[in-house]
Structure 1
Amino acid sequence: MNNIFSGIPLIESPLFFKAKENWHLDDEETKIANDLHENGYAIFDFPDHALFDRIDRIQGHLGPRYGIDFDNAESNKTTGERRIQDAWKFDEDVHAIAANRAIIDLLSKLYGRNAFPFQTLNFPVGTQQEAHSDSVHFSSIPERFMCGVWLAMEDIGPDAGPLFYYPGSHRWPIITNGLIGRRGYGSDLRSAQDPYGPAWQALCDAHGAQQEFFLPRKGQALIWCANLLHGGSHQNDPRLTRWSQVTHYYFDDCIYYTPAFSDEALGKLMVRNPMAIHDGSRRNSSYLGEMVEEKSIASKKVNNSLGKRILKRIFG
């Protein structure tokens, strides 16, 4: 199929309903595609017959690293570490979930470019994080070629601080430094999200947006689009856990960067060179099939001292 709008993910294309006729989707894929296009997220059963065994091993392996007393049912589970980033580097089950071939193939079909996982986050409890769009943390040129897959590793009820989101918010403008009148390149922030909070709240107010909550059973997963506004709700019962894994995916033939610390109009980007988890290859930025040289953009790599401090503030 000749994709006129190749710089837009297929599931966000303005020609979505006409174009999807040529994608040869099965019934489940069609539902997922429709939900992503309309709502910005889609819920499905994670395709791994060994998933529950993997979850047990992950909890046993990562549990001691959080500093939480999981054995005591009455203990406060929210007092320890809330996340471990990139456990795929040392835990084979985290790696297997992130590198799941069926998920990679599905995302590649739905976005029109080959997907690759580049980051994992593992949580024992909810984040209680304010509403935000991932597009300020990691984005691409062309934009929107990033998504997340959130996997429930236990049944999650309303008192455990479930994930929330604003359906349809993925269609709202992507909030950039240019839109809110700030310079990002070279800046240092306590939180990469703070400057954008008022803009996201203003959009919610203008649209009369209402939160919806993800109350999954163990083994259910949720794909969300790059610009979907989402967060972690308040945990009403601190004795509860909320085990989950998030895997973030990029797509081939893009420039990968961190918008919160970039000024796109000036060509000053905090560039990322992400590792593809499933095959171990480094993915350098490219544009329309041409590799982008470091010297062609004023780049600040995320492996320098400022970048390391920034990533720590973003992800803990």
Structure 2
Amino acid sequence: MFDFPDPDINGRIERVKRNLAPRFDVDLEDPRSDKARGARRIQDAWSFDEDVRAIAANPKVLELLGKLYGRPAFPFQTLNFPVGTQQKAHSDSVHFSSLPERFMCGVWLAMEDVPAEAGPLFYVAGSHRWPIMSNSLIGRRGFGGSLGSAQDPYGPAWEALCRAKNAREETFLARKGQALIWCANLLHGGSRQADTTLTRWSQVTHYFFDDCIYYTPAFSDEALGQLATRDLVAIHDGKPRPNRYLGEEIDKVQPRSEPARIPLTGLMRRLARSWR
């Protein structure tokens, strides 16, 4: 947890709330309205809201993430919420992953003080060190498939891991302007919202790191080389971030009937020829 490093963060937060509030189908200003009904998030508001973009592109956060992960970070997605998600514990690693694995993280920013009744963020302590769930581990094919919820198939496996590890959930009763970094595999979710008249404004920014393959595991079969790769543009500089393996750009996304193939490095090609 850290205080968000922006001297204008309070001003940005208030402008974001004013700009985004009319886009939800509930009166967020009415103290009696049920804030938890209807749509509860806006994805990629950075594309039209400069303050959302500035939060995602904060240079001090990028510098911090680069030091923690050992390679440059770039933001690629934002999510803005007026209330809590009330989601069960889940890992972002089924939505966004990388090769090498775990080069993805989220930064969650509290845009107001969060009381216990507002459905605060929770996380499962230590779960970021656990094995990453994949389709092969839970016994399903992902490549070319479709899902109503990309994370639901993994729920029973996460619950089993929590029982086996005797894991505990910790709640983040954040103050306005505080932020939390979560690693790719950290199980997290939204607590039950006891008072549905309360808001719980927040912003999540998702980051990848340079020189990786970026893909969606829920729709991939890694063991077969079938990857649902992503075509990304960095929010902070507007430049594309191609999929790379050991510094070499891999082919663009393959047709759905073919696996995405990672090119052999020069050394691997020589080894392959020697085995023939």
TM-score (normalised: structure 2): 0.91
* Structure 1 pair 261–134 and aligned structure 2 pair: CA distance change class (3 A): same
Identity %: 68
Q: Which SS does the other structure have where 2:205 is aligned?
A: strand
Aligned twin of 1:275: 233
Equivalent runs, 1:257-296 vs 2, <5 Å: 257-294=215-252
Q: Which SS does the other structure have where 2:62 is aligned?
A: helix
Aligned twin of 1:298: 259
Name the one with the larger helix percent: 1
- Per-residue Cα deviation, 1:168-188 (whole angstroms, up to 9, x for no partner): 001110000011111100111
* Structure 1 pair 295–236 and aligned structure 2 pair: CA distance change class (3 A): closer
1 CA distance for matches of 2:110 and 2:26? Answer: 19
Equivalent runs, 1:229-268 vs 2, <5 Å: 229-268=187-226
Does the Cα contact within 8 Å between 2:141 and 2:221 map onto a contact in 1? yes
Q: Which SS does the other structure have where 2:86 is aligned?
A: coil
The one-letter amino acid of 1:246's match is V
1 CA distance for matches of 2:240 and 2:253? Answer: 18
Q: Does 1:177 align with 2:174?
A: no
- Per-residue Cα deviation, 1:84-122 (whole angstroms, up to 9, x for no partner): 000000000000000000000110111011000000000
**1:273, distance to aligned residue in structure 2 (A):** 1.5
Out of 184, 189, 192, the residue aligned to residue 150 of structure 2 is: 192
Aligned twin of 2:274: none
The one-letter amino acid of 1:70's match is L
**1:228, distance to aligned residue in structure 2 (A):** 0.4
Aligned twin of 1:214: 172
1 CA distance for matches of 2:35 and 2:66? Answer: 37
2 CA distance for matches of 1:150 and 1:299? Answer: 32
Equivalent runs, 1:6-85 vs 2, <5 Å: 43-85=1-43
Count of residue pairs the alignment pairs up: 258
Query: Which of these two proteins has the greater Rg computed from alpha carbons?
Result: 2
**1:293, distance to aligned residue in structure 2 (A):** 1.2
Q: Does 1:107 align with 2:65?
A: yes
What's the RMSD between the two structures over aligned residues? 1.3
2 CA distance for matches of 1:150 and 1:254? Answer: 23
Unpaired runs of 5+ residues, structure 2, are: 262-276
Does the Cα contact within 8 Å between 2:229 and 2:253 map onto a contact in 1? no
